[in-house]
Amino acid sequence: MQGAVINVLWLQSGGCGGCSMSLLCADGADFPGQLAAAGVRLLWHPSLSMASGDEVLALLDDGRAGRVAVDVLCVEGAILRGPGGSGRFHLLAGSGRPMMDWVRELAAVARHVVAVGSCAAWGGVSAAGANATEACGLQYENARPGGLLGTDFRARGGLPVINVAGCPTHPGWVIDTLAALAADALHADDLDPLARPRFYADQLVHHGCTRNEYYEFKASAEKPGDLGCLMEHLGCKGTQAHADCNARPWNGQGSCTRGGYACISCTEPGFQDPGHAFHRTPKLAGIPIGLPTDMPKAWFVALASLSKSATPRRVRSNATADHLVVPPAIKPTRLK
């Protein structure tokens, strides 16, 4: 790629490859053109590059030895440290060495390190349940700092691991992060307390949700397919999850809530083990436990009661239907 500014090396560890699949669904049809325009040269990606076998091992050797500049090391998937911390559950094919050793050595020479997806960031689904594979993130183990590289790790550029969390992560978040790094426009102040890029992590999934009118009146869906708010009964955590999924729809038009699925807060550490069924909202004395992150419980209860008493018939009727039953009234606004 002529005129490339930064070299990006992409490794896949313990995961499903879904973040790469998501990236290939980026809005722009010319994905290589998007990277080139941003000043990004893809040194190697296991699904997108032609090189394999000895060619790749030679490239990785050149990278860790400094013969090839690794400006950005992207890691997708959790680090599998088992059994017993040996890392031998995941050997890099052809090398006979654990993937975690390659990641550790390449991270030591990279200018920036990016965890692509929640598995690479926190351990994610790969670390669910008993975590028999000893999966962890690059710099976190669920919400606990540490992971493979340790709390104090800083890449040569001075930043900790940049956690582009999500399951899978949004293609725009990956492209925008790489573009910002290429432009030297991503700094410590641009990361939130969990080292996620603030351009998406300072938003909530709730922002821009097409079900917000139902939320405002606490007109709730009661079963899958209903049009109402998914928070009260069906497990939605959109008021707690840090992401701009509804302000920046996937592929220009979609999101989990727009498709009728509750937000499971997949950008947050530990989302994979919520302690309850994903499609059910846990409650205490009839009050949802998962309230909005920055709203006192007493306020929420008071406002919810008031909102429900003021719910228009249209909103109440549509909330528990799978299609629009009562359309908005046609009424002059009388605005001058």
Domain range summary for the chain, segments of one domain joined by +: 6-201, 203-325
pTM score, whole prediction: 0.91
| pLDDT for residue 191 | 98
Q: Tell me the C-alpha distance between 203 and 210, whole Å.
A: 15
| pLDDT for residue 88 | 97
| pLDDT for residue 1 | 40
Instruction: List pLDDT tens digits, range 117-155.
Output: 999 999 999 999 999 999 999 999 999 999 999 999 999
Tokens of 133: 């594979």
| pLDDT for residue 29 | 64
Q: Tell me the C-alpha distance between 245 and 236, whole Å.
A: 14
- Smallest CA-to-CA distance from 312 within 325, 323, 300 is with 325
Tokens of 144: 């606990």
Contact indicator for 47, 11 with CB cutoff of 8 Å: no
| pLDDT for residue 250 | 86
| pLDDT for residue 333 | 75
Query: Which of the following CATH numbers is that of domain 203-325: 4.10.480.10, 3.50.50.60, 3.20.20.70, 3.10.450.100?
Result: 4.10.480.10
Query: Which of the following CATH numbers is that of domain 6-201: 2.40.50.140, 3.40.50.700, 3.40.50.720, 1.10.10.10?
Result: 3.40.50.700
One-letter amino acid for residue 303 of the chain? L
Query: Residue 327 has what DSSP assignment?
Result: P
| pLDDT for residue 4 | 56
The residues of the chain scoring below 50 in pLDDT are 1-3
Q: Tell me the C-alpha distance between 213 and 206, whole Å.
A: 11
